[in-house]
């Protein structure tokens, strides 16, 4: 590995993780010391980076009546939700459990919650009505009827939007594309007008908005603009029908770069905001946005220690103490995460599969990845792991979930203890 290649590999772009000499830091805190203090696997997040991303979005949409409703499913840590609530964010939830998280992190923020999801249960709807959330994003005709029944039973009025399916294609992984007619999400936009007319006659319902969400990890602004354009037309038709539609939920899905490709977050946000603002100009709506990944993904990393290095014929394997139960994105989505040592040692490059100890061939973080040669005991970071890392983690192989640490202003604090075997087994009955 020559000097220019080394320098290129050590340039981590717009992430908050950067080398200070040979050691990796975040917000001025040495990651080796965190791994030694709290053990591995360990999720580490930069609160400073989260704040920066939220502020980027808030500046880009300045002058537009809007609310950022952070997608809780991306990372539901109570400490992160509290941080976001304090910045004035709302929240996009998809379950009653996520509503309870918002309640515990910032009870006042419940009034800025939108409730999405294709299969809401009666108890979840009841809890959201009692909490006084901002709006329900309804995804089926059956849900319209259920929402009316629950609102009537509780003597409440439910503000609602239909999540319409605009049939707009977005270039992303098929598992996280949601805007086409073959997907389970939303209601065909051609059916929406009739469903709104029916909903307006039902007790306990107030049709107040229209919602759209076409997928996740989308880096081109054109699909967002096209989907919002189709929603604008629907809003104008619904207003002509006499409905007071005043919210437009443009969804989330704004992506990042997981690899080394050049990525300027401010430039991306500016283009994204300009495209949406142009389409909604003069419409007079309160814009709701549901960012998740853009805010938290690059703010987080998963730290892990190399257990062993083995050679099987021509194939080299680096085995870490983190596994697919800690970070499933590579196995589930074939996702790329940059993998870097916490301490540069000037070794030659190696090509290896970087894998975990779980009893699955799908338990890998990278195939044939070139890194500085790694040895047993070395610490490495899997970058861009803040979104859909901890929130998708599991106890597969009866492995406890990782600890989590939040770094802010040069100081680190534990925000989740490492899960013990006793805690994993506590709910089971012999």
Residue 407 contacts residue 46 (beta carbons within 8 Å): yes
pLDDT at residue 103, rounded to an integer: 98
Report whether CATH 3.20.20.10 matches the domain 47-296: yes
Give the residues across from 162 on adjacent strands. 138, 210
Residue 367 contacts residue 348 (beta carbons within 8 Å): no
The model carries a pTM of 0.93
pLDDT tens for residues 52-91? 999 999 999 999 999 999 999 999 999 999 999 999 999 9
List the chain domain ranges: 3-46+298-417, 47-296
Output the DSSP codes for 252-279: --B----SSS---HHHHHHHHHHHHHHH
- 3-state class of 251 per DSSP? coil
Question: How far, in Å, CA of 12 to CA of 299, rounded?
Answer: 12
- 3-state class of 166 per DSSP? coil
The angle subtended at Cα 222 by Cα 140 and Cα 267, nearest 5°, is 120
As given in the structure block, the two tokens for residue 265 are 């977050």
**Topology at the third CATH level for domain 3-46+298-417:** Lyase, Ornithine Decarboxylase; Chain A, domain 1 (2.40.37)
419 among annotated binding-site residues:
no
Question: How far, in Å, CA of 299 to CA of 380, rounded?
Answer: 16
Residue 114 contacts residue 93 (beta carbons within 8 Å): yes
pLDDT at residue 9, rounded to an integer: 57
422 among annotated binding-site residues:
no
pLDDT at residue 222, rounded to an integer: 86
Residue 60 contacts residue 67 (beta carbons within 8 Å): no
As given in the structure block, the two tokens for residue 54 are 């939220």
139 among annotated binding-site residues:
no
The residue ranges of the chain whose pLDDT is under 70 are 1-9, 168-185
359 counts as catalytic:
yes
Widest Cα–Cα separation across the chain: 72
396 among annotated binding-site residues:
no
Residue 326 contacts residue 402 (beta carbons within 8 Å): yes
pLDDT at residue 253, rounded to an integer: 83
- 3-state class of 359 per DSSP? coil
240, 262, 359, 426: which one is catalytic? 359
104 among annotated binding-site residues:
no
DSSP code of residue 345: -
230 among annotated binding-site residues:
no
pLDDT tens for residues 178-218? 434 555 668 999 999 999 999 999 999 999 999 998 877 78
The alpha carbon of 302 is separated from its chain's Cα centroid by a whole number of angstroms, namely 15
333 among annotated binding-site residues:
yes
Number of alpha carbons in the 13 Å side-chain half-sphere of residue 241: 19
H-type alpha helices, 287-407: 293-296, 329-333
């Amino acid at each position: 590995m020559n000097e220019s290649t080394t320098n290129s590999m050590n340039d981590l772009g717009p992430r908050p993780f950067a080398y200070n000499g040979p050691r990796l830091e975040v917000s001025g805190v040495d990651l080796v010391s965190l791994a030694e203090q709290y053990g591995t696997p360990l999720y580490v997040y930069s609160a400073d980076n989260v704040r920066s991303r939220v502020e980027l979005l808030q500046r880009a949409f300045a002058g537009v009546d809007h609310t950022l409703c952070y997608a809780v499913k991306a990372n539901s840590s109570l400490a992160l939700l509290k941080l976001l609530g304090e910045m004035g964010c709302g929240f996009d939830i998809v379950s009653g459990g996520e509503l309870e998280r918002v309640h515990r992190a910032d009870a006042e923020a419940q009034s800025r919650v939108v409730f999405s999801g294709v299969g809401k249960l009666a108890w979840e709807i009841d809890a959201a009505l009692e909490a006084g959330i901002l709006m329900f994003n309804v995804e089926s005709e059956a849900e319209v009827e259920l929402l009316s029944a629950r609102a009537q039973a509780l003597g409440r009025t439910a503000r609602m939007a239909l999540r319409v399916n605009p049939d707009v294609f977005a270039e992303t992984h098929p598992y996280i594309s949601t805007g086409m007619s073959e997907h389970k999400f939303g209601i065909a936009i051609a059916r929406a007008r009739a469903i709104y007319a029916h909903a307006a006659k039902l007790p306990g319902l107030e049709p107040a908005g229209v919602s759209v969400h076409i997928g996740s990890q989308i880096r081109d602004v054109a699909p967002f603009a096209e989907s919002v354009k189709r929603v604008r037309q629907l809003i104008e038709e619904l207003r002509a029908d006499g409905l007071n539609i005043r919210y437009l939920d443009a969804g989330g899905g704004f992506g990042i770069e997981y690899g080394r490709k050049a990525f300027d977050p401010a430039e991306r946000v500016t283009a994204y905001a300009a495209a949406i603002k142009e389409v909604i100009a003069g419409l007079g709506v309160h814009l709701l946005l549901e960012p998740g990944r853009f805010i938290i993904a690059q703010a987080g990393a998963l730290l892990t220690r190399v257990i062993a290095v083995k050679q099987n014929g021509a194939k080299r394997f680096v085995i870490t103490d983190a596994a697919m139960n800690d970070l499933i994105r590579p196995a589930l989505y074939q996702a790329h995460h940059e993998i870097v040592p916490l301490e540069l040692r000037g070794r030659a490059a190696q090509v290896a599969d970087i894998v975990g100890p779980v009893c699955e061939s799908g338990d890998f973080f990278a195939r044939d990845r070139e890194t500085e040669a790694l040895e047993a005991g070395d610490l490495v970071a899997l970058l861009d792991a803040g979104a859909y890392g901890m929130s998708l983690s599991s106890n597969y192989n009866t492995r406890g979930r990782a600890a989590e640490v939040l770094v802010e202003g040069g100081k680190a604090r534990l925000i989740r203890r490492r899960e013990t075997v006793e805690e994993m087994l506590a709910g089971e009955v012999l």
